[in-house]
Amino acid sequence: MGSRFGVHAVIKIKFYYDLRSPYSFFAWRRRTVLETAGAELEYTPVSIDILLNLQADREPWAKYQDPLAPPKRAHVMADIQRMSKYWDIPLGGPFSFKPQAKRAMCVATELQRRGLDQTEFIERASKTLWEDARDISDERVLERLIGESSLVEMSHETEASALRLLTRNTQAAYAAGVYGVPSFGHGNEIYFGADRMDVLAASLNAT
């Protein structure tokens, strides 16, 4: 909320993300757009795979089905490169249309559950996947990310519990109006897309 002195009160904004989404990566790199408008970002891990399945009335972890027609897929792939250049956010990869991030998202969810800061893990995992083009689902890569961030160890039981929580949280997000990532929750409103961060920031500045 602005004031005549130009000072912003802190406004809590939910930042729904999935590490496997390049647009979530763009939003992460552009987060200061919202922070300078007075937003305190609450990082909320969700699964884009679950969101897509819920939209198609399938079970949360039903087998993945590509939701994009070939022309739209071609557009998305071109658009990723276009926005990378426009925002000057370099991409090194990955070159797979569907990078894997389920296990990394379980780590993020466990951090959220414990009330721990997610930002260092998001930064390291995002950079590893989108700049270094490394597979964050690889056991050794993921273990290094967890170790470098001084995070809790992820046992099989902890990971299974985190996956269940990720599923529930994604279902709750969908019920709240989230259908893709990145999305931003401001009160009862949902803003979808890294390019809508500017619209949300303008709204925050105007209040």
The DSSP line for 52-108 is HHHHTT--TTPPP---S-HHHHHHHHHHHHHHHHHTT-------SSS---HHHHHHH
Q: What is the CATH number of the domain that holds 92?
A: 3.40.30.10
Domain extent at residue 33: 11-206
Close Cβ partners of 181 (under 8 Å, ≥ 6 residues apart): 16, 17, 18, 21, 23, 24, 46, 48, 51
pTM, two decimal places:
0.93
Cα dihedral 171, 175, 178, 180 sign = positive
Is residue 165, in this structure, part of any structural domain at all? yes
Q: At residue 30, what is the residue type?
A: R
- Indicate the SS3 state at residue 114: coil
Is residue 39, in this structure, part of any structural domain at all? yes
CB 13, CB 188: distance < 8 Å: no
User: How many domains does the chain fold into?
Assistant: 1
Is residue 185, in this structure, part of any structural domain at all? yes
Q: What is the pLDDT along the chain (207 residues), one digit of tens a residue?
A: 444 445 556 899 999 999 999 999 999 999 999 999 999 999 999 999 999 999 999 999 999 888 888 899 899 999 999 999 999 999 997 666 689 999 999 999 999 999 999 999 999 999 999 999 999 999 999 999 998 876 778 899 999 999 999 999 999 999 999 999 999 999 999 999 999 999 999 999 987
Is residue 6, in this structure, part of any structural domain at all? no
Q: How far apart are CA 72 and CA 79, in angstroms?
A: 10
Is residue 19, in this structure, part of any structural domain at all? yes
Is residue 179, in this structure, part of any structural domain at all? yes
Is residue 128, in this structure, part of any structural domain at all? yes
